[in-house]
Amino acid sequence: MSVKQLFDLTGQVALITGGSRGLGLQMAEALGEMGARIAIAARKPHELAAAEAALAPKGIEVFSVPCDLGDIAAKPAERLTTAVLERFGRIDILINNAGASWGAPAEDHPAEAWRKVMTLNVDAAFYLAQEVGKRAMIPQGGGKIVNIASVAGLGGNPPNLNMFTIAYNTSKGAMVNFTRALAAEWGRYNINVNAICPGFFPSKMSQGLLDRFEKEVLAATPLGRLGGDEDLKGAAVYFASAASRHVTGQILAVDGGTAVV
Q: What positions carry a catalytic annotation?
A: 168
Report residue 143: phi and psi, to 5°.
Answer: 170, 180
Report whether 126 contacts 178 (CB < 8 A).
yes
Residue 196's closest CA among 144, 159, 157, 138?
144
Query: What does the alpha-carbon distance between residue 131 and residue 32 come to, in Å, rounded to a whole number?
Result: 23
Query: What does the alpha-carbon distance between residue 257 and residue 246 come to, in Å, rounded to a whole number?
Result: 25
Query: What does the alpha-carbon distance between residue 51 and residue 57 come to, in Å, rounded to a whole number?
Result: 11
What Rg do the C-alpha atoms of the chain give, in angstroms? 18
